[in-house]
Amino acid sequence: MKSLSFITSLLLCLVIAGCSQSGSGVLFDGTNMNQWKTTGNVSTADGILTLTGSNACAVLKNGKYQNFELNLEMRTTPGGKGAIAFHTDPSVGKGYRVAINNDRDDPVWWKMTGSLLSVRNLTKSFVKENDWFTMSIRVEGHFVTVRINGEPVVEYIEPAEPYRVAPNSDVLLSEGTFALTGSGTGDVQFRNISVNVIRPDEIAEDVASQWAQAPDEQNDDIIRLHQEDFPVLDYHVHVKGGLTDENAAQRSRKTGINYAAAPNCGIGFPITDDAGVMAFLESSRKLPFILAMQAEGREWVTTFSPEVRAEFDYVFTDALTFTDSKGRRTRLWMPQEVWIENEQEYMDLIVNKICDVLQEPMDVYVNPCFLPPTMEDRYDEFWTEARMNKFVEAMANSGKALEINARYKIPNKAIIQKAKAAGVKFTFGTNNAGANDLGLLEYCIQMKNECDITAQDMYRPKIKI
Protein backbone atom coordinates (compact mmCIF):
# COMPACT_ATOMS: atom_id res chain seq x y z
CA MET A 1 0.00 0.00 0.00
CA LYS A 2 2.85 2.40 0.87
CA SER A 3 4.62 1.69 -2.43
CA LEU A 4 1.39 2.29 -4.36
CA SER A 5 0.84 5.56 -2.48
CA PHE A 6 4.39 6.68 -3.26
CA ILE A 7 4.07 5.89 -6.95
CA THR A 8 0.66 7.57 -7.16
CA SER A 9 1.99 10.72 -5.49
CA LEU A 10 5.05 10.77 -7.73
CA LEU A 11 2.95 10.40 -10.88
CA LEU A 12 0.66 13.19 -9.67
CA CYS A 13 3.68 15.45 -9.18
CA LEU A 14 4.93 14.67 -12.70
CA VAL A 15 1.53 15.37 -14.20
CA ILE A 16 1.21 18.66 -12.34
CA ALA A 17 4.76 19.66 -13.29
CA GLY A 18 3.76 19.28 -16.90
CA CYS A 19 0.79 21.62 -16.53
CA SER A 20 1.14 25.30 -17.26
CA GLN A 21 0.98 27.79 -14.42
CA SER A 22 -0.46 31.26 -14.34
CA GLY A 23 2.18 33.93 -14.65
CA SER A 24 4.14 36.12 -12.28
CA GLY A 25 2.97 39.63 -11.56
CA VAL A 26 1.04 42.03 -9.37
CA LEU A 27 -2.24 40.64 -8.06
CA PHE A 28 -3.29 43.79 -6.19
CA ASP A 29 -1.60 47.18 -6.54
CA GLY A 30 -3.93 49.30 -4.43
CA THR A 31 -6.57 49.97 -7.08
CA ASN A 32 -7.34 47.11 -9.43
CA MET A 33 -9.58 44.30 -8.11
CA ASN A 34 -10.49 42.96 -11.56
CA GLN A 35 -8.54 39.74 -10.95
CA TRP A 36 -10.52 38.86 -7.83
CA LYS A 37 -14.00 37.58 -7.13
CA THR A 38 -15.28 38.88 -3.81
CA THR A 39 -18.08 37.93 -1.43
CA GLY A 40 -19.09 39.47 1.87
CA ASN A 41 -17.75 42.79 3.11
CA VAL A 42 -14.75 43.44 0.85
CA SER A 43 -13.79 46.98 -0.13
CA THR A 44 -10.95 49.07 -1.55
CA ALA A 45 -10.11 52.63 -0.55
CA ASP A 46 -6.90 54.67 -0.36
CA GLY A 47 -4.93 51.86 -1.94
CA ILE A 48 -6.00 49.30 0.66
CA LEU A 49 -7.98 46.10 0.17
CA THR A 50 -10.05 45.45 3.31
CA LEU A 51 -11.87 42.30 4.41
CA THR A 52 -14.25 43.01 7.27
CA GLY A 53 -15.99 40.42 9.40
CA SER A 54 -16.28 36.67 9.23
CA ASN A 55 -17.81 36.21 5.77
CA ALA A 56 -15.42 38.33 3.71
CA CYS A 57 -13.61 36.48 0.95
CA ALA A 58 -11.60 37.33 -2.17
CA VAL A 59 -10.63 34.54 -4.58
CA LEU A 60 -8.17 35.07 -7.42
CA LYS A 61 -9.96 34.33 -10.69
CA ASN A 62 -8.41 31.75 -13.00
CA GLY A 63 -5.39 31.27 -10.76
CA LYS A 64 -3.41 28.15 -11.53
CA TYR A 65 -0.27 27.93 -9.42
CA GLN A 66 1.83 25.04 -8.25
CA ASN A 67 5.33 26.36 -7.45
CA PHE A 68 5.43 30.02 -6.50
CA GLU A 69 6.31 32.71 -4.01
CA LEU A 70 3.34 34.81 -2.92
CA ASN A 71 4.22 38.15 -1.32
CA LEU A 72 1.77 40.23 0.68
CA GLU A 73 1.86 43.40 2.77
CA MET A 74 -0.88 43.42 5.38
CA ARG A 75 -2.12 44.40 8.80
CA THR A 76 -4.98 43.55 11.15
CA THR A 77 -7.13 45.90 13.17
CA PRO A 78 -8.34 44.78 16.62
CA GLY A 79 -10.41 41.63 16.21
CA GLY A 80 -9.32 41.19 12.59
CA LYS A 81 -8.49 37.58 11.73
CA GLY A 82 -8.41 35.48 8.62
CA ALA A 83 -6.28 33.29 6.41
CA ILE A 84 -4.56 33.07 3.05
CA ALA A 85 -5.40 29.91 1.12
CA PHE A 86 -3.22 28.45 -1.63
CA HIS A 87 -3.61 25.48 -3.96
CA THR A 88 -7.31 26.08 -3.43
CA ASP A 89 -10.36 26.30 -5.69
CA PRO A 90 -13.14 28.89 -6.26
CA SER A 91 -15.10 27.49 -3.31
CA VAL A 92 -11.97 27.58 -1.08
CA GLY A 93 -12.65 23.95 -0.34
CA LYS A 94 -9.15 22.51 -0.59
CA GLY A 95 -5.49 23.32 -0.13
CA TYR A 96 -3.57 24.93 2.71
CA ARG A 97 -4.35 28.02 4.77
CA VAL A 98 -1.89 30.36 6.46
CA ALA A 99 -3.31 32.10 9.52
CA ILE A 100 -3.64 35.86 9.97
CA ASN A 101 -4.20 36.47 13.67
CA ASN A 102 -2.43 38.96 15.94
CA ASP A 103 -5.08 38.93 18.67
CA ARG A 104 -3.29 37.99 21.89
CA ASP A 105 -6.66 37.61 23.63
CA ASP A 106 -7.87 34.96 21.19
CA PRO A 107 -8.98 31.84 23.12
CA VAL A 108 -7.33 29.76 20.39
CA TRP A 109 -3.94 31.26 21.17
CA TRP A 110 -1.89 28.57 19.40
CA LYS A 111 -2.89 29.50 15.80
CA MET A 112 -1.23 32.87 15.32
CA THR A 113 -0.09 34.72 12.19
CA GLY A 114 2.05 32.57 9.91
CA SER A 115 0.63 29.24 11.09
CA LEU A 116 0.30 26.63 8.36
CA LEU A 117 -3.03 25.68 9.84
CA SER A 118 -3.51 22.15 11.17
CA VAL A 119 0.06 21.28 10.18
CA ARG A 120 2.39 23.84 11.77
CA ASN A 121 0.42 25.99 14.21
CA LEU A 122 2.36 28.82 15.87
CA THR A 123 1.92 29.95 19.46
CA LYS A 124 3.60 33.34 19.04
CA SER A 125 2.63 36.20 16.76
CA PHE A 126 5.57 38.26 15.59
CA VAL A 127 3.57 41.42 14.89
CA LYS A 128 0.99 43.57 16.64
CA GLU A 129 -2.46 44.63 15.57
CA ASN A 130 -2.49 47.86 13.51
CA ASP A 131 1.14 47.32 12.39
CA TRP A 132 1.90 46.71 8.72
CA PHE A 133 4.03 43.64 8.04
CA THR A 134 5.08 41.44 5.14
CA MET A 135 4.37 37.77 4.59
CA SER A 136 5.73 35.47 1.93
CA ILE A 137 4.49 31.97 1.18
CA ARG A 138 6.79 29.86 -0.98
CA VAL A 139 6.06 26.43 -2.44
CA GLU A 140 8.86 24.48 -4.15
CA GLY A 141 7.81 20.94 -4.94
CA HIS A 142 6.71 19.64 -1.54
CA PHE A 143 8.59 22.24 0.52
CA VAL A 144 6.49 25.06 2.01
CA THR A 145 8.10 28.11 3.66
CA VAL A 146 6.29 30.96 5.41
CA ARG A 147 8.18 34.13 6.30
CA ILE A 148 7.09 37.10 8.40
CA ASN A 149 9.01 40.32 7.79
CA GLY A 150 11.63 38.24 6.00
CA GLU A 151 12.17 35.72 8.82
CA PRO A 152 11.17 32.05 8.39
CA VAL A 153 8.45 30.91 10.80
CA VAL A 154 7.37 27.69 9.03
CA GLU A 155 9.43 25.22 7.03
CA TYR A 156 7.39 22.15 6.18
CA ILE A 157 7.94 19.27 3.79
CA GLU A 158 4.75 17.44 2.92
CA PRO A 159 5.68 13.73 2.95
CA ALA A 160 4.62 11.08 0.47
CA GLU A 161 2.03 9.88 2.98
CA PRO A 162 0.74 12.87 4.95
CA TYR A 163 -1.23 12.25 8.12
CA ARG A 164 -4.60 14.01 7.93
CA VAL A 165 -7.79 13.62 9.96
CA ALA A 166 -11.08 13.67 8.05
CA PRO A 167 -11.80 17.44 8.32
CA ASN A 168 -8.33 18.13 6.87
CA SER A 169 -8.33 15.48 4.15
CA ASP A 170 -8.01 18.13 1.42
CA VAL A 171 -5.15 20.00 3.12
CA LEU A 172 -2.66 18.78 0.55
CA LEU A 173 -0.35 20.20 -2.09
CA SER A 174 -1.64 20.06 -5.66
CA GLU A 175 -2.19 23.25 -7.64
CA GLY A 176 -4.80 25.99 -7.61
CA THR A 177 -5.60 29.58 -6.93
CA PHE A 178 -5.23 31.94 -3.96
CA ALA A 179 -7.92 33.18 -1.59
CA LEU A 180 -8.05 35.78 1.16
CA THR A 181 -10.60 35.12 3.91
CA GLY A 182 -11.81 36.95 7.00
CA SER A 183 -12.95 35.21 10.16
CA GLY A 184 -12.97 37.83 12.91
CA THR A 185 -14.86 40.93 13.99
CA GLY A 186 -12.29 43.46 12.76
CA ASP A 187 -10.44 44.10 9.50
CA VAL A 188 -7.73 42.28 7.59
CA GLN A 189 -6.09 44.73 5.18
CA PHE A 190 -3.71 44.39 2.22
CA ARG A 191 -1.96 47.03 0.15
CA ASN A 192 0.41 45.01 -2.03
CA ILE A 193 0.00 41.45 -3.33
CA SER A 194 2.24 39.87 -5.96
CA VAL A 195 3.36 36.43 -7.06
CA ASN A 196 6.50 35.02 -8.65
CA VAL A 197 6.23 31.70 -10.46
CA ILE A 198 9.02 29.21 -9.74
CA ARG A 199 10.02 27.28 -12.84
CA PRO A 200 10.85 23.56 -12.58
CA ASP A 201 14.54 24.25 -13.24
CA GLU A 202 14.61 26.70 -10.32
CA ILE A 203 13.55 24.11 -7.73
CA ALA A 204 16.61 23.23 -5.68
CA GLU A 205 15.70 19.58 -4.95
CA ASP A 206 13.57 16.99 -6.69
CA VAL A 207 10.56 15.49 -4.94
CA ALA A 208 12.36 12.29 -3.97
CA SER A 209 15.11 14.28 -2.22
CA GLN A 210 12.55 16.37 -0.37
CA TRP A 211 10.61 13.32 0.73
CA ALA A 212 13.83 11.79 2.09
CA GLN A 213 13.96 14.72 4.56
CA ALA A 214 10.26 14.73 5.43
CA PRO A 215 8.90 13.31 8.69
CA ASP A 216 7.15 9.96 8.78
CA GLU A 217 3.78 11.45 9.66
CA GLN A 218 2.12 8.06 10.01
CA ASN A 219 4.26 7.58 13.11
CA ASP A 220 4.58 11.20 14.25
CA ASP A 221 2.79 12.26 17.43
CA ILE A 222 3.44 15.96 16.78
CA ILE A 223 1.41 16.14 13.56
CA ARG A 224 -1.43 14.41 15.40
CA LEU A 225 -1.48 17.20 17.99
CA HIS A 226 -1.63 19.83 15.24
CA GLN A 227 -4.37 17.94 13.43
CA GLU A 228 -6.54 17.76 16.54
CA ASP A 229 -6.08 21.49 17.26
CA PHE A 230 -3.97 20.99 20.39
CA PRO A 231 -1.37 23.62 21.38
CA VAL A 232 2.04 22.20 20.49
CA LEU A 233 4.40 23.98 22.87
CA ASP A 234 7.39 22.88 24.88
CA TYR A 235 7.05 25.30 27.80
CA HIS A 236 10.46 24.48 29.33
CA VAL A 237 13.46 24.77 27.00
CA HIS A 238 16.94 26.00 27.88
CA VAL A 239 19.09 27.48 25.12
CA LYS A 240 22.44 26.31 26.47
CA GLY A 241 24.83 23.37 26.36
CA GLY A 242 25.54 23.77 22.65
CA LEU A 243 21.98 24.72 21.76
CA THR A 244 21.93 28.18 20.16
CA ASP A 245 19.04 30.47 19.32
CA GLU A 246 19.53 29.70 15.63
CA ASN A 247 19.61 25.92 15.82
CA ALA A 248 16.78 25.88 18.38
CA ALA A 249 14.65 27.88 15.93
CA GLN A 250 15.61 25.51 13.10
CA ARG A 251 14.75 22.48 15.21
CA SER A 252 11.42 24.02 16.18
CA ARG A 253 10.50 24.55 12.53
CA LYS A 254 11.63 21.03 11.61
CA THR A 255 9.74 19.21 14.37
CA GLY A 256 6.69 21.45 14.52
CA ILE A 257 7.13 22.01 18.27
CA ASN A 258 6.96 25.63 19.44
CA TYR A 259 9.45 26.52 22.17
CA ALA A 260 9.38 28.65 25.29
CA ALA A 261 12.98 29.60 26.05
CA ALA A 262 13.80 30.05 29.72
CA PRO A 263 17.04 31.44 31.18
CA ASN A 264 18.02 30.33 34.67
CA CYS A 265 17.59 33.32 36.97
CA GLY A 266 18.92 33.42 40.52
CA ILE A 267 21.96 33.63 42.74
CA GLY A 268 24.79 31.66 41.14
CA PHE A 269 22.99 31.38 37.77
CA PRO A 270 23.53 33.21 34.45
CA ILE A 271 21.07 36.02 35.31
CA THR A 272 21.36 37.44 38.80
CA ASP A 273 19.57 40.80 38.81
CA ASP A 274 16.98 43.02 37.12
CA ALA A 275 19.54 44.49 34.73
CA GLY A 276 20.45 41.01 33.51
CA VAL A 277 16.79 40.18 32.92
CA MET A 278 16.21 43.32 30.89
CA ALA A 279 19.34 42.73 28.80
CA PHE A 280 18.15 39.19 28.05
CA LEU A 281 14.67 40.35 27.08
CA GLU A 282 16.00 43.16 24.92
CA SER A 283 18.13 40.71 22.93
CA SER A 284 15.52 37.95 22.79
CA ARG A 285 12.11 39.56 22.30
CA LYS A 286 12.22 39.20 18.50
CA LEU A 287 13.26 35.55 18.62
CA PRO A 288 10.66 32.96 17.58
CA PHE A 289 10.22 31.78 21.17
CA ILE A 290 7.87 32.51 24.02
CA LEU A 291 10.06 33.83 26.84
CA ALA A 292 9.80 32.36 30.31
CA MET A 293 11.76 32.88 33.51
CA GLN A 294 13.08 29.91 35.47
CA ALA A 295 13.29 31.26 39.00
CA GLU A 296 16.02 29.49 40.96
CA GLY A 297 16.33 28.91 44.69
CA ARG A 298 14.03 30.46 47.23
CA GLU A 299 15.75 33.86 47.06
CA TRP A 300 14.40 34.73 43.62
CA VAL A 301 11.34 36.49 45.02
CA THR A 302 13.52 39.27 46.46
CA THR A 303 16.35 39.06 43.92
CA PHE A 304 14.10 40.19 41.04
CA SER A 305 11.50 42.94 41.23
CA PRO A 306 7.82 42.19 40.47
CA GLU A 307 7.89 44.74 37.63
CA VAL A 308 10.81 43.04 35.89
CA ARG A 309 9.46 39.52 36.47
CA ALA A 310 6.23 40.62 34.80
CA GLU A 311 8.15 41.34 31.59
CA PHE A 312 8.39 37.60 30.94
CA ASP A 313 5.53 35.75 29.27
CA TYR A 314 5.36 33.62 32.41
CA VAL A 315 7.49 32.57 35.39
CA PHE A 316 8.15 29.05 36.62
CA THR A 317 10.03 27.49 39.47
CA ASP A 318 10.49 24.13 41.17
CA ALA A 319 10.85 22.92 44.76
CA LEU A 320 14.19 21.19 44.30
CA THR A 321 16.08 23.80 46.35
CA PHE A 322 15.17 24.46 49.98
CA THR A 323 16.51 24.56 53.53
CA ASP A 324 15.99 21.28 55.38
CA SER A 325 14.86 20.83 59.00
CA LYS A 326 18.43 21.29 60.26
CA GLY A 327 19.05 24.50 58.30
CA ARG A 328 21.09 22.91 55.50
CA ARG A 329 20.72 24.14 51.92
CA THR A 330 19.37 21.23 49.93
CA ARG A 331 19.35 20.63 46.18
CA LEU A 332 17.42 17.43 45.67
CA TRP A 333 19.08 16.40 42.42
CA MET A 334 22.54 16.43 44.06
CA PRO A 335 23.07 13.37 46.32
CA GLN A 336 25.80 15.10 48.31
CA GLU A 337 23.30 17.80 49.37
CA VAL A 338 20.52 15.44 50.49
CA TRP A 339 20.61 14.19 54.09
CA ILE A 340 17.99 11.53 54.82
CA GLU A 341 17.69 10.00 58.29
CA ASN A 342 14.11 8.74 58.01
CA GLU A 343 12.68 8.37 54.51
CA GLN A 344 9.03 8.78 55.46
CA GLU A 345 9.75 11.90 57.48
CA TYR A 346 11.87 13.23 54.64
CA MET A 347 9.05 12.59 52.20
CA ASP A 348 6.70 14.61 54.39
CA LEU A 349 9.30 17.40 54.40
CA ILE A 350 9.39 17.35 50.58
CA VAL A 351 5.60 17.59 50.35
CA ASN A 352 5.53 20.48 52.81
CA LYS A 353 8.26 22.33 50.92
CA ILE A 354 6.35 21.89 47.65
CA CYS A 355 3.21 23.34 49.23
CA ASP A 356 5.26 26.31 50.49
CA VAL A 357 6.74 26.93 47.01
CA LEU A 358 3.24 26.98 45.50
CA GLN A 359 2.62 30.21 47.44
CA GLU A 360 5.43 31.99 45.59
CA PRO A 361 4.46 34.52 42.87
CA MET A 362 5.06 32.27 39.86
CA ASP A 363 2.78 30.81 37.19
CA VAL A 364 3.93 27.22 36.69
CA TYR A 365 5.33 24.62 39.08
CA VAL A 366 7.95 22.54 37.21
CA ASN A 367 10.03 19.41 37.82
CA PRO A 368 6.97 18.47 39.85
CA CYS A 369 6.92 16.02 42.73
CA PHE A 370 10.59 15.22 42.15
CA LEU A 371 12.26 12.73 44.48
CA PRO A 372 16.00 12.45 45.21
CA PRO A 373 17.93 9.65 43.47
CA THR A 374 17.87 7.31 46.48
CA MET A 375 14.05 7.43 46.58
CA GLU A 376 12.99 7.83 42.95
CA ASP A 377 12.83 4.10 42.22
CA ARG A 378 9.96 3.87 44.77
CA TYR A 379 8.06 6.90 43.48
CA ASP A 380 4.58 5.38 43.75
CA GLU A 381 5.34 4.05 47.24
CA PHE A 382 6.30 7.45 48.62
CA TRP A 383 3.55 9.36 46.83
CA THR A 384 0.75 7.86 48.89
CA GLU A 385 -2.91 8.70 48.41
CA ALA A 386 -2.82 11.13 51.33
CA ARG A 387 0.27 12.92 50.05
CA MET A 388 -1.11 13.15 46.54
CA ASN A 389 -4.35 14.60 47.84
CA LYS A 390 -2.52 17.16 49.96
CA PHE A 391 -0.39 18.24 47.00
CA VAL A 392 -3.27 18.43 44.50
CA GLU A 393 -5.39 20.45 46.92
CA ALA A 394 -2.51 22.90 47.34
CA MET A 395 -2.08 23.06 43.54
CA ALA A 396 -5.75 23.77 42.94
CA ASN A 397 -5.89 26.41 45.68
CA SER A 398 -2.77 28.14 44.37
CA GLY A 399 -4.11 28.60 40.83
CA LYS A 400 -0.71 27.57 39.46
CA ALA A 401 -0.21 25.32 36.44
CA LEU A 402 1.42 21.90 36.75
CA GLU A 403 4.20 20.81 34.42
CA ILE A 404 4.27 17.32 32.96
CA ASN A 405 8.01 16.83 32.72
CA ALA A 406 9.44 14.77 29.86
CA ARG A 407 12.99 14.61 31.22
CA TYR A 408 12.16 12.98 34.55
CA LYS A 409 8.79 11.51 33.50
CA ILE A 410 7.02 13.12 36.41
CA PRO A 411 4.55 13.44 38.00
CA ASN A 412 2.99 10.00 37.75
CA LYS A 413 -0.33 9.28 36.09
CA ALA A 414 -2.26 9.15 39.37
CA ILE A 415 -1.18 12.68 40.33
CA ILE A 416 -1.99 14.01 36.86
CA GLN A 417 -5.45 12.46 36.93
CA LYS A 418 -6.17 13.96 40.35
CA ALA A 419 -4.90 17.37 39.20
CA LYS A 420 -7.09 17.28 36.10
CA ALA A 421 -10.14 16.38 38.18
CA ALA A 422 -9.34 19.34 40.44
CA GLY A 423 -9.26 21.77 37.47
CA VAL A 424 -5.50 22.34 37.46
CA LYS A 425 -3.99 23.58 34.18
CA PHE A 426 -0.97 21.85 32.63
CA THR A 427 2.19 22.58 30.71
CA PHE A 428 4.51 20.20 28.83
CA GLY A 429 8.25 20.58 29.45
CA THR A 430 11.43 18.99 28.17
CA ASN A 431 13.78 20.69 30.69
CA ASN A 432 16.76 19.92 28.50
CA ALA A 433 20.34 20.28 29.68
CA GLY A 434 21.55 21.05 26.16
CA ALA A 435 21.15 20.36 22.48
CA ASN A 436 21.39 16.58 22.68
CA ASP A 437 18.47 15.93 25.01
CA LEU A 438 15.87 18.26 23.54
CA GLY A 439 13.22 15.63 22.98
CA LEU A 440 9.80 15.34 21.39
CA LEU A 441 7.66 15.53 24.55
CA GLU A 442 7.10 11.78 24.50
CA TYR A 443 6.09 11.34 28.15
CA CYS A 444 3.93 14.46 28.04
CA ILE A 445 2.03 13.18 25.03
CA GLN A 446 1.65 9.74 26.61
CA MET A 447 0.09 11.34 29.72
CA LYS A 448 -2.08 13.63 27.59
CA ASN A 449 -3.55 10.61 25.86
CA GLU A 450 -3.90 8.43 28.95
CA CYS A 451 -5.38 11.20 31.11
CA ASP A 452 -7.60 12.77 28.42
CA ILE A 453 -5.95 16.20 28.64
CA THR A 454 -7.57 18.64 26.20
CA ALA A 455 -6.49 21.96 24.73
CA GLN A 456 -8.65 23.71 27.33
CA ASP A 457 -6.64 22.01 30.10
CA MET A 458 -3.41 23.67 28.95
CA TYR A 459 -1.98 26.80 30.54
CA ARG A 460 -2.10 29.91 28.36
CA PRO A 461 1.01 32.14 28.52
CA LYS A 462 0.58 35.91 28.73
CA ILE A 463 2.51 36.46 25.51
CA LYS A 464 4.14 39.83 24.91
CA ILE A 465 6.21 41.17 22.02
Summarize pLDDT for 419-450 with one digit per residue, the tens.
999 999 999 999 999 988 899 999 999 999 99
- 212 pLDDT band, cuts 50/70/90, is very high
* 38 Cβ neighbours under 8 A, 6+ residues apart: 56, 57, 58, 59
Residue 226, CB-side half-sphere exposure with 13 Å CA sphere: 25
CATH of span 21-214: 2.60.120.560
Q: Is the pLDDT of residue 308 over 50?
A: yes
Residue type, 431: N
Are 295 and 366 contacting, i.e. CB atoms less than 8 angstroms apart?
no
pLDDT reading at 207 higher than 90: yes
Q: Which CATH class is domain 230-457?
A: alpha beta
CB contact set of 104 (below 8 Å; sequence gap of 6+)? 125, 463
**What pLDDT, on the 0 to 100 scale, is given for residue 12?**
44
**Using one digit for the tens of pLDDT, what is the confidence trace for 86-101?**
999 999 999 999 999 9
Count helices and strands (H / E) in the chain: 12, 21
Rounded percentage of the chain residues whose pLDDT exceeds 90: 93
Contact, 405 vs 443, CB < 8 A? Answer: yes
Predicted pLDDT at 20: 61
For the chain, the domains span 21-214, 230-457
Burial class (CB in 10 A: 0-12, 13-18, 19+), 227: buried
pLDDT digits (tens, 9 = 90+) for 46-79: 999 999 999 999 999 999 999 999 999 999 999 9
- Alpha-carbon distances of 42 from 103, 180, 395, rounded to whole Å: 21, 10, 49
In angstroms, the first-to-last Cα distance of the chain is: 47
pLDDT digits (tens, 9 = 90+) for 108-147: 999 999 999 999 999 999 899 999 999 999 999 999 999 9
pLDDT at 431: 97
